[in-house]
């Protein structure tokens, strides 16, 4: 089996990153991964969880505290690491990606700019971090009306992101709203958001985009509370497949060492048990499929 981790950060170019790129590479090799995609944060305009529209021009250096990275140096770092791996006979593949934090007012400006300036990426993740203009990591207001409203509102944003029909490959952590919910059992169940999940899946499928299953909420919750919340609700994946979904990407969203590939063997068992036959990663913006049977 050739398994890829599609989502990772370092302290060198992500403000919340803790690991170095070298640590990430060493861990990925030790974990036996075929490869990983480096996806530093690109939350244009976001400072301390609050959007500051056009706080810096596209392509200009980051404003103080802005969650973006310079494309050139990060690409050079990826290329240098690939050369070093080749020189010592390692077959680990490093894919060059990006995680774009979506904000609705940036359509289509940021994406038009990306079409010109983002051509070197193997894969583009788009992710919702802000609900109603507030980063849910920093601001808990979106949870005040309870689970149903909070989860629904988050999924509404993900649906709006898909409806904008932007040029990206993977919808990052569709269930991110679980991560900071603080509920005893934060796992979203299919039946509690069936309508929205169906709409989200139909849009993903029509646009040929991949859905990401992200293990970070699970290991973060374990670290903070000692509770293992387990795998997601299998009904979510089964419904995606039933509607014709084929593209599923597995990610750790690691920010610190020893988390790349975390819970992957468990997730692969879960994927198989729910009927998934292959995983998807992106190279040169093209989907690549690897059997997990
Ligand atoms: Zn994210
Ligand atoms: Zn991330």
| pLDDT for residue 255 is more than 90 | yes
Please give the distance, rounded to the nearest whole angstrom, from the Cα atom of residue 89 to the centre of ligand 1.
32
Question: Domain containing 94: what range?
Answer: 4-291
Got the DSSP string for 241-255? HHTT---EEEE--B-
Split into its structural domains, the chain has a count of 1
What is the 8-class DSSP label of residue 36? E
Q: How confident is the model at residue 36 (pLDDT cuts 50, 70, 90)?
A: very high
Query: Would the CA dihedral through 215, 102, 193, 247 be positive or negative?
Result: negative
> From residue 182, how far is each of 140, 145, 218, 232, 285 by CA, in Å?
10, 14, 12, 16, 36
Spatial separation of the C-alpha atoms in residues 268 and 266, rounded to whole Å: 6
With CA atoms as reference, report the closest residue to 78 among 25, 142, 15.
25
Q: What percent of the chain has pLDDT over 70?
A: 100
CA 254 – ligand 2 centroid, Å: 7
Closest Cα partner for 106 from 71, 139, 68? 68
pLDDT at 264: 98
Ligand 2: centre distance to CA 86 (Å): 27
Instruction: Give residue 182's pLDDT band: very low, low, confident or very high (50, 70, 90).
Output: confident
In the prediction, which pLDDT does 94 show?
A: 98
Band of residue 259 on the pLDDT scale cut at 50, 70, 90: very high
Which ligand lies nearest the alpha carbon of 39? 2
| pLDDT value at residue 111 | 98
> What share of the chain has pLDDT > 90, as a percent?
98
CB 55 within 8 A of CB 45: yes
Domain containing 278 — which CATH number? 3.20.20.140
Pairing type for strands 278-283 and 286-291 reads antiparallel
Confidence of residue 184 (pLDDT cuts 50, 70, 90): confident
Alpha carbon of 30 to ligand 1 centroid (Å): 24
Query: What 3-state DSSP class applies to 290?
Result: strand
Q: How far is the CA of 13 from the centre of ligand 2 (A)?
A: 12
Which residues, by Cβ under 5 Å, contact ligand 2, an ion? Answer: 99, 253
Residues whose CB falls within 8 Å of the CB of residue 228, separated by 6 or more in sequence, listed in order: 218, 221, 222
| CA of residue 138 to ligand 1 center, whole Å | 13
Gap from CA of 175 to ligand 2 centroid (Å) = 13
pLDDT 10s digits, 38-95? 999 999 999 999 999 999 999 999 999 999 999 999 999 999 999 999 999 999 999 9
Worst-scoring range by mean pLDDT, 108-117, 139-148, 281-290? 139-148
User: Over the stretch 191-222, which tens digit does the pLDDT of each residue have?
Assistant: 999 999 999 999 999 999 999 999 999 999 99
CA–CA distance, 269 with 266 (Å, rounded to integer): 5
Residue pLDDT, tens place only, 117-154? 999 999 999 999 999 999 999 999 989 999 999 999 99
Residue 112's pLDDT band, with cuts at 50, 70 and 90, is: very high
Sign of CA pseudo-dihedral 277, 283, 284, 285:
positive
């Amino acid at each position: 089996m050739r398994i890829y981790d599609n989502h990772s950060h370092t302290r060198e170019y992500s403000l919340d990153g803790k690991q170095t790129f070298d640590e990430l590479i060493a861990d990925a090799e030790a974990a036996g991964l075929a490869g990983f995609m480096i996806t530093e944060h690109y939350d244009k305009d976001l400072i301390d969880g609050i959007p500051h529209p056009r706080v810096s021009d596209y392509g200009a250096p980051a404003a103080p505290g802005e969650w973006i990275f310079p494309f050139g140096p990060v690409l050079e770092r990826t290329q240098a690491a690939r050369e070093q791996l080749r020189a010592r006979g390692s077959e680990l593949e490093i894919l060059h990606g990006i995680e774009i934090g979506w904000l609705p007012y940036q359509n289509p400006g940021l994406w038009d700019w990306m079409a010109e300036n983002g051509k070197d990426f193997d894969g583009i993740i788009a992710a919702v971090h802000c609900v109603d203009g507030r980063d849910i990591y920093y601001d808990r207001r979106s949870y005040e009306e309870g689970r149903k409203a909070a989860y629904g509102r988050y999924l509404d944003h993900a649906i709006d992101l898909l409806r904008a029909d932007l040029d990206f490959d993977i919808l990052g952590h569709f269930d991110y709203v679980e991560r900071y919910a603080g509920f005893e059992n934060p796992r979203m169940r299919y039946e509690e958001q069936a309508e929205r999940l169906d709409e989200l899946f139909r849009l993903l499928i029509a646009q040929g985009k991949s859905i990401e299953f992200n293990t970070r909420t699970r290991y973060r919750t374990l670290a903070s509370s000692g509770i293992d919340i387990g795998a997601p609700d299998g009904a979510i994946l089964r419904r995606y497949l039933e509607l014709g979904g084929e593209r599923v990407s597995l990610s750790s969203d690691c920010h610190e060492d020893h988390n790349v590939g975390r819970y992957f063997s468990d997730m692969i068992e879960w994927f198989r048990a729910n009927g998934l036959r292959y995983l998807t990663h992106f190279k040169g913006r093209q989907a690549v499929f690897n059997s997990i049977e």
